[in-house]
Amino acid sequence: MSAEHFTETPFGRKKQRTEMIARWFLGGMAAAMVVPLLLIVGYIVVQGAPSLSWEFLTTNPRLGGIRGGIWSALVGTLYIVAISLCVSAPIGVLSAVYLNEYAKDNWFTRIVNLAVVNLAGVPSIVHGLFGLGAFVYAAGMGKSILSASLTLSIMTLPVIIASTKEALSAVPISFREACWNVGATRWQTIRRIVLPNSISGILTGVILQVSRTAGETAPVMLTGVATFKAIESTGLFLYHPIQDQCMALSMHLYYIATQANNAPHSLPFGIATVLLGVVLLVNATAIAVRAYLRSRKKW
Amino acid sequence: MFPQPKIEVQDLRLSYGTREVIHGISFDIREHEIFGIIGPAQSGKTSLLRCLNRTIEFTAGATATGSIRVDGQDVRKLKNVYELRRRIGMVAPLPVGLPLSIYDNVAFAPRCAGLSSRSELDGLVEQCLRQAALWDEVKDRVDSLGTKLSGGQQQRLTIARALSHQPEILCLDEFSIAIDPVTTMRIEEVLKELKKTMTILLVTNLTQQARRLADRTMFLWNGEIIELDANEVIFSDRVKDRRTRDYVNGFFG
Amino acid sequence: MPPCLTHPTSAATHAKPKRGQVGVLIERAIEALIYLCGFSAIIFVFGIFFFVFREGAPFLAKLNLGEFLFSIDWFPTSQTQAKYGVGALIVGTLSVTTLAMVIAVPFGLGAAVFVSEFCTGKVKETLKVVIELLAAIPSVVWGFVGLTVMSPIIIKTFQVPIGVNMFNGALLLALMSVPIMVSIGEDALKAVPDSYREAGIALGATKWQLVWRVLLPAAKNGLLAAVLLGVGRAIGETMAVLMATGHSVRIPHSVFDPVRTLTATIAAELGETSKGSDHYQVLFLIGILLFSITFVVNLAADLIVKGIRKK
A98 near B CB under 8 A:
no
CA–CA distance, C38 with C41 (Å, rounded to integer):
7
| A222 vs C115, C148, C270: nearest CB | C270
Q: Is residue C105 part of a domain?
A: yes
pLDDT tens-digit readout, A159-206: 999 999 999 999 999 999 999 999 999 999 999 999 999 998 899 889
Q: How far is CA C141 from the centre of its chain?
A: 17
A–B CB contacts, 8 A cutoff, strictly below: 68
By the 8 A CB rule, do C175 and C142 touch? yes
Count of A-C CB contacts under 8 Å? 244
The reply to whether residue B55 touches residue A181, judged by beta carbons under 8 angstroms, is: yes
Indicate the helix (H) or strand (E) that contains C108. Answer: helix C87-113
Q: Are A249 and A80 in contact (CB under 8 A)?
A: no
Provide the 3-class DSSP secondary structure of residue C14: coil
Domain boundary among C7, C40, C62: C62
Is residue A30 pLDDT above 80, yes or no? Answer: no
CA distances, A13 to each of A1, A24, A131, C41, C153 (Å): 17, 17, 63, 57, 41
Contacts of C263 in chain A (CB under 8 A): 123, 125, 218
Q: Do C236 and A279 touch (CB under 8 A)?
A: no
Q: In this structure, are strands B169-173 and B199-204 parallel, antiparallel, or unpaired? A: parallel
User: DSSP assignment of B139-169, as one string?
Assistant: TT-TTSBGGGS-HHHHHHHHHHHHHTT--SE
Q: Where are the alpha helices (DSSP H) in chain A?
A: 3-6, 10-48, 54-58, 71-97, 107-121, 124-131, 145-169, 173-181, 186-189, 199-214, 218-221, 249-258, 266-295
CA dihedral B106, B109, B111, B116 (to 10 degrees): -60
Do the beta carbons of residue A122 and residue C294 sit within 8 Å?
yes
Residues 186-225 of C with CB under 8 A from A: 206-209, 211-212
Cα A226 off chain centre by: 22
The answer to whether residue C9 sits within a structural domain is no
The alpha-carbon gap from C125 to the nearest alpha carbon of chain B, in Å, equals 28
**What's the pLDDT tens digit per position in B216-245?**
999 999 999 888 989 888 888 888 888 888
User: What is the CATH number for C193?
Assistant: 1.10.3720.10
C98 found inside a domain: yes
* C55 and C86 in a common domain: no
For B109, the closest of A182, A298, A299 (CB atoms) is A182
Confidence bin at B26 (pLDDT 50/70/90): very high
Biggest CA-to-CA distance, chain A: 82
DSSP string covering C154-176: HHHHHT-S-SSSHHHHHHHHHHH
Domain total in chain B = 1
C122 and C47 share one domain: no
Query: In this structure, is residue C11 part of a structural domain?
Result: no
Long-range own/partner contacts, residues B49-53 (CB < 8 A, 24 or more apart): B49/B90, B49/B171, B49/B173, B49/B201, B49/B203, B51/B12, B51/B14, B51/B22, B52/B7, B52/B88, B52/B169, B52/B171, B52/B201, B53/A181, B53/B84, B53/B85, B53/B88, B53/B90, B53/B171
Domain assignment of residue C148, yes or no: yes
Euclidean distance between CA atoms A249 and A125, whole angstroms = 18
Q: Is residue C10 part of a domain?
A: no
| CA neighbours closer than 13 Å in the CB half-sphere of residue B225 | 18
What distance separates the 2 farthest-apart alpha carbons in chain B? Answer: 56
Same domain for C157 and C254, yes or no, is yes
Burial environment of residue B20 by CB neighbours within 10 A (0 to 12, 13 to 18, 19 or more): middle
Cβ(C267)–Cβ(A127) below 8 Å: no
Query: b/e string for A125-144 if b means 16 or more Cβ within 10 A?
Result: bbbbbbbbbbbbbeeebbbb
Cα separation, C216 vs C220, whole angstroms: 6
**Which residues on chain C are in Cβ contact (under 8 Å) with A33?**
107, 111, 130-131, 134, 175, 178
Best mutation target among C137, C145, C153, C175 (most A Cβ atoms within 10 Å) is C137
Q: Are residues C27 and C118 in the same domain?
A: no
CA atoms within a 13 Å half-sphere pointing along the CA-CB vector of C23:
13
Nearest chain A Cα distance for residue C137, angstroms: 7
Asked whether B212 and B219 are in contact (CB, 8 A), the reply is no
Burial of C97 (0-12, 13-18, 19+ CB in 10 A): buried
Taking the C-alpha atoms of residue B95 and residue B104, their distance in angstroms, rounded to an integer, is 16
Residue B76 maps to a domain:
yes
Residue of C nearest to A136 (CA): C51
How close does chain C come to B146, measured CA to CA in Å? 19
User: Which residues on neighbouring strands pair with residue B10, listed in sequence order?
Assistant: B67
| pLDDT score for A98 | 95
Give the A window 146-185 contacts with C, CB below 8 Å. 154, 157-158, 161, 185
C109 located within any domain: yes
Of C37, C45, C291, the CB nearest to A91: C37
pLDDT digits (tens, 9 = 90+) for A52-84: 888 888 888 888 778 888 888 899 999 999 999
Q: Across the interface, which of A154, A254, A279 has its CB nearest the CB of C137?
A: A279
Q: Chain B partners of C14 at a C-beta cutoff of 8 Å?
A: 115, 120, 123-124, 166
C 96-155 residues with CB < 8 A to A = 106-107, 110-111, 113-115, 118, 127, 129-134, 136-141, 143-145, 147-149
* Burial class (CB within 10 angstroms; exposed 0-12, middle 13-18, buried 19+) of A261: exposed
Q: Where are the beta strands (DSSP E) in B33-158?
A: 34-38, 62-70, 73-74, 88-91
Q: What is the mean pLDDT of residues A260-285?
A: 89
How confident is residue C277, by pLDDT bands cut at 50, 70 and 90?
Answer: confident
B253 is a domain residue: no
Q: Given pLDDT bands bounded at 50, 70 and 90, which one contains residue B1?
A: low
- Reported in sequence order, the residue ranges of chain C that DSSP labels E, i.e. its strands, are 74-75, 83-84
The answer, yes or no, to whether residue A156 has pLDDT greater than 60, is yes
Spatial neighbors of B43 by CB under 8 A, at least 6 apart, are B220, B221, B222, B223
Using the Cβ of B83 and the Cβ atoms of chain C, whether some distance falls under 8 Å is answered with no
A66 closest CA partner among A222, A213, A228, A281: A228
Q: Which of C111, B155, C27 is nearest to A184 (CA)?
A: C27
ipTM of the shown complex: 0.89
pLDDT at residue B108 is higher than 60: yes
Q: Are strands C83-84 and C74-75 parallel, antiparallel or unpaired?
A: antiparallel
C61 touches chain B (CB under 8 A): no
Give the contacts of B226 (CB within 8 A, at least 6 positions apart): B39, B219, B220, B241, B243, B244
Alpha-carbon torsion, ordered C20, C24, C30, C31, to 10 deg? 160
Nearest-CA neighbor of C263 among C184, C173, C200? C173
* Domain residue limits at B202: 7-248
- How does the average pLDDT of chain C come out, rounded? 84
Asked: is A54-295 a CATH 1.20.120.1780 domain? The reply is: no
Which residue does chain B place closest to A184, by CA atoms? B112
Tell me the per-residue pLDDT of C47-106, one tens digit each, with 9 for 90 and over: 999 999 999 888 888 878 888 888 888 888 877 777 888 888 999 999 999 999 999 998
Chain C hits for B167, CB-CB cut-off 8 Å, are 11
Out of B82, B99, B162, closest to residue A185 by CB: B82
Q: Cβ atoms within 10 A of the Cβ of C60, count?
A: 13
Cβ neighbors of B241 (< 8 A, separation 6 or more) are B219, B226, B227
Residues C119 and C190 reside in one and the same domain: yes
d(CA A36, CA C138): 16
Shared domain for C98 and C222, answered yes or no, is yes
CB of C12 within 8 A of CB of B167?
no
Question: Contacts from C17-22 at CB under 8 Å and sequence distance 24+?
Answer: C17/B110, C17/B113, C17/B114, C17/B115, C18/B113, C18/B114, C19/B112, C19/B113, C19/B114, C20/B114
β partners of residue B36? B202, B217
**By CA distance, what is C22's nearest residue in B?**
B114
Is the domain of C40 the same as that of C167? Answer: no
pLDDT at A15 over 80: no
Check whether C308 has a pLDDT greater than 80.
no
pLDDT tens digits for range B176-230: 887 888 888 888 998 998 999 999 999 998 888 999 999 999 999 999 988 898 9
Q: How many CB atoms lie within 10 A of CB B91?
A: 26
Domain residue limits at C92: 70-310
In Å, how far are A120, C177, C231, C304, C308 from C300, measured between CA atoms? 14, 17, 11, 6, 13
Half-sphere exposure of B169 (CA within 13 A, CB side): 26
CATH code, B145: 3.40.50.300
How many domains are there within chain C?
2
Tell me, yes or no, whether C45 lies in a domain. yes
Above 70 in pLDDT, residue C301?
Answer: yes
The residue-averaged pLDDT of B244-248 equals: 87
**pLDDT at res. B253:** 63
| Secondary structure class of B200 (helix, strand, coil) | strand
Q: B-chain residues within 8 Å CB-CB of C2?
A: 119, 122-123
Q: Tell which of C9, C19, C24 to mutate to test the B interface (max B CBs under 10 Å).
A: C19
Best of B83, B126, B135 to disrupt the C interface (most C CBs within 10 Å) is B126
- Please state, in angstroms and rounded to a whole number, the distance separating the CA atoms of residues C63 and C60: 5
Q: Are A283 and C132 in contact (CB under 8 A)?
A: yes
Please tell me the total number of residues recorded for chain C in this structure: 311
- Selection from B72, B98, B94, B103 nearest residue B10 by Cα: B72
Could you report the per-residue pLDDT of C172-202, keeping only the tens digit for each? Answer: 999 998 888 888 888 888 878 888 888 888 8
